[in-house]
Amino acid sequence: MTDVDEAAKIIRAGGVVAFPTETVYGLGCDATNEEATSKIFDIKGRPSFNPLIVHVSSIEQARSIGEFNDNVLKLTSIWPAPLTIVMNLNPTANIAKSVLAGLGSVAIRMPAHPIALELITKSSCPIAAPSANPSGYISATEMQHVLMHFGDQQVFILGGDKVCQYGLESTIIDTTGEVPTILRYGFITPLVLESILGKKVKVADSIMQIKAPGMLNKHYSPRVPLRLNSEFLNKGEIGLNFGQSKLNGQYSLNLSEKGDLIEAASNLYSMMRILDNYAVDNRMQGIAIAKIPNEFIGLAINDRIKRAANL
Ligand code: TXA
Ligand code: MG
């Protein structure tokens, strides 16, 4: 029996499995099983008002859960991809109540990682999965991160090659309204979405249109304070550089020496974790992050570090 076979057996039996995707690690269970999904909220310490993404491995499976309008049809043409689509719930869908958190919509995603797809297929059910981190903390992009958080709980953890190569959570687009609306930035950028849809999209305003609690401020946060757009280090700070920036204190890392936003995104969470651990162990005051261009994938990076900094 392979690890994925074993993991699928656990999912079918109502257990919890951490699995790699192309974005971040997910903490998954059978999305149709109320008891299993409530375990996920417990393990993560996730508030019950925050709904989960349902992961599927086929379009038929997605159609049995969500209603496909024209926009959904166009957007699903790029699946599997780091793109989560919020659509109206199919009235005949069999999804545990806690996954939906009382909404009439459902967030569905087909991940582009072979292990994730194999796991969903072999489990013979859609998999509800938030990111595999304690609620509010930095997402996990390596097996080690997940082990650290949930190693002592009954969570089976899958490893694999090229796990979490993008390193940032999927883009979320809401297709339930008149105008498709981006709820969370990610690798599928607004321009790409507009070209797939053939029309303009909106970006949700962070306060007035909170639909995804992922848009709430405290999220992705290290234990020590973060300071953004930094050009120098304050006393007691350690630095996270980008490109040619020079935050060179007693301990500094660089998201991408060559100034590549894709590389920076894939390093962001693991480097934030290293710096957070170092800062806590060495009683440092905080982490200073250099300015990162606010374009292309930089939109998603800046969005995450702003929330991580509680801004
Ligand atoms: O890349 C990803 O999306 C990862 C991997 C594991 O797939 N998952 C992930 O899940 O980031 P999570 O739970 O950390 O973030 C999901 C976000 C939350 O902010 C949640 O509020 C939002 O999706 N969400 C879920 N269902 C929704 C719905 N029906 N309407 C609006 N937002 C929804
Ligand atoms: Mg998350």
Q: Which residue's CA is the nearest one to ligand 1's atom 20?
A: 212
Query: Cα separation of 298 and 311, whole Å?
Result: 17
Q: Which residue's CA is the nearest one to ligand 1's atom 6?
A: 26
Query: Cα separation of 104 and 211, whole Å?
Result: 12
Mean of pLDDT over the chain: 94
Give the pLDDT band (50/70/90) at residue 153.
confident
- What pLDDT is attached to residue 296? 94
Instruction: State yes or no: pLDDT of 119 exceeds 80.
Output: yes
175 pocket-lining for ligand 1 (C-beta < 6 Å): no
Question: Which stretches does DSSP call E strand in 218-285?
Answer: 226-227, 237-241, 252-254
Q: Which residue's CA is the nearest one to ligand 1's atom 31?
A: 212
- What pLDDT is attached to residue 217? 56
Query: Cα separation of 84 and 186, whole Å?
Result: 10
Question: What is the mean pLDDT of the segment spanning 176-189?
Answer: 96
Ligand 2 centroid – CA 251 distance (Å): 28
CA 215 to ligand 1: nearest atom: 19
Give the pLDDT band (50/70/90) at residue 206.
low
49: left (phi over 0), alpha (psi -120 to 50) or beta: alpha
* Spacing of C-alpha 139 from chain mean position: 7
Query: Cα separation of 168 and 208, whole Å?
Result: 24
- Of the candidates 9, 201, 207, 183, which has an alpha carbon nearest to the alpha carbon of residue 109? 183
Lookup result for tokens 């060495």? 282
Give the pLDDT band (50/70/90) at residue 286.
very high
- What pLDDT is attached to residue 162? 83
Q: Taking a C-beta distance cutoff of 8 angstroms, is the pair 305, 289 a contact?
A: yes
CA 168 to ligand 1: nearest atom: 1
Question: Higher-confidence residue: 130 or 219?
Answer: 130
Side chain identity at 308, as an amino acid letter?
A
Instruction: State yes or no: pLDDT of 208 exceeds 60.
Output: no
Instruction: State yes or no: pLDDT of 211 exceeds 90.
Output: no
Peptide bond into 80 cis (omega under 30): yes
Query: Cα separation of 308 and 311, whole Å?
Result: 8
